Structure 1
Amino acid sequence: MSKFKKSSGTSQDIPTAALPDIIFMLLFFFMVTTVMREDDILVKQQLPKATQLTKIEKKSLVSYIYLGEPKNTSLFGVEPRIQTNDVMVTTEDIIQFVNQEKDKLSEVERDQITMSMKVDVDVKFGIVSDVQQELREANARRVLYSSVKSTEE
């Protein structure tokens, strides 16, 4: 008696025509939102060694100041220079740099900004002291001194 089969009009296939579009949209989204920019360090950097180090918790609140002898001595000379982001600056420009970095942050995080100084071991303390004084005037009270972990104990 089962001469006629019951046929349902539904298909069990999953439509995959839109999958490449979705994958490219996700790829494009992550390419646009990912930040991979690093500073080009224009000064020599041989950081001092330390035995007790503390890891930074929130790196988005850290801005870097590099101090050292320029790599390109024909363009910048041989005296130690200050670099912020990708630009060589003078001590008078530190306040402007701090204010620009604070403007990038939200209102709540502006007082939590940390200035990390990466100072070459051969730099004299005079320029470091000048930068510290400018940071005080710019109301950047949290200052880190970057170093590498000492291997000998």
Structure 2
Amino acid sequence: MSKFRKKKKGMPAVNTAALPDIVFMLLFFFMVTTTMRETDLRIENPRLPSASEVKKLEHKSLVCTIYVGKSKDPNRDGVGFNKIQLNDKIASADQVPAFIINARTKVSEAEVPFMTTSIKADKESNVGTITDIRLKLRDVNALKISYSASKGSGN
């Protein structure tokens, strides 16, 4: 009989010491790179008109978005395609200047000339509503306006 017995070799256990570090690095990465939606749409997702020349907005932090379209809840907001949404509420065209002035207070004074107002209007929206918004924007000297469109044939 031998004094030393041969040990049966099996698969070594997986080293999980670095696993928490990897998990926390991934968690930190997604927390830093993810942006949360700032507003909840109270109008239906606008079916944007198509255009042949489309350009992306560069400084998203300097963009104020005005949504025009049909309300998701007609019992609360009324029926029709001419509902205007500013932040999280349905508003009228008369409330647009206060919305722009409030947005200007949140950025530095040097960035105010670079602010853009983006109008996301449904295809079925009334042009009169958009014209009312434009006139109110003119009153507060918000002359840099972008109309959102989807890239298409432009017909």
TM-score range, shorter chain: 0.7 to 0.9
**2 CA distance for matches of 1:50 and 1:38?**
27
- C-alpha change, 1:72 and 1:107, in structure 2 (3 Å) is same
What is the aligned partner in structure 1 of residue 110 from structure 2? 108
Q: Post-superposition shift, 1:139? A: 1.0
2:141 is aligned with 1:142:
no
In structure 2, the residue matched to 1:97 is 99
**Alpha-carbon offset, residue 127 of structure 1:** 0.7
- Equivalent position amino acid for 2:116 in 1: T
Q: CA RMSD in A?
A: 2.6
Q: 2:116, 2:146 within 8 Å by CA — same for their partners in 1?
A: yes
- Cα separation, 2, equivalents of 1:152 and 1:64: 23
User: What SS does the aligned partner of 1:96 have?
Assistant: helix
Task: Say whether 1:71 aligns with 2:72.
Answer: yes
| 1:39 Cα deviation after fit | 1.9
TM-superposed CA distance for 1:33, in Å, is: 9.7
Q: Which secondary structure does the structure 1 equivalent of 2:40 belong to?
A: coil
Structure 1 stretches of at least 4 aligned residues deviating more than 3 Å after TM superposition: 30-35
CA distance in structure 2 between the aligned counterparts of 1:92 and 1:60, rounded to whole angstroms: 24
The aligned residue for residue 130 of structure 2 is 128
Size of the alignment, in residue pairs? 136
Structure 1 residue 124: Cα displacement: 1.1
Q: 2:84 aligns with which of 82, 85, 93?
A: 82
Q: Distance in 2 between matches of 1:140 and 1:111?
A: 9
Structure 2 unaligned runs (5+)?
Answer: 1-19
Question: What's the TM-score once normalised by structure 1's chain length?
Answer: 0.76
- Distance in 2 separating the partners of 1:33 and 1:126: 40
Q: Which amino acid aligns with 2:71?
A: P
CA change 1:50–1:34 in 2 (3 A) is closer
Paired residues of 2:51 and 2:153 also in contact (CA < 8 A): no
- Deviation track 1:53-111 (CA, whole Å, cap 9, x = no partner) reads 11111111111000011111111111321001111111111010000111111110012
Same amino acid, percent of matched pairs: 39
Distance across 1 between alignment mates of 2:109 and 2:59: 16
Unaligned runs of 5+ in 1: 1-19
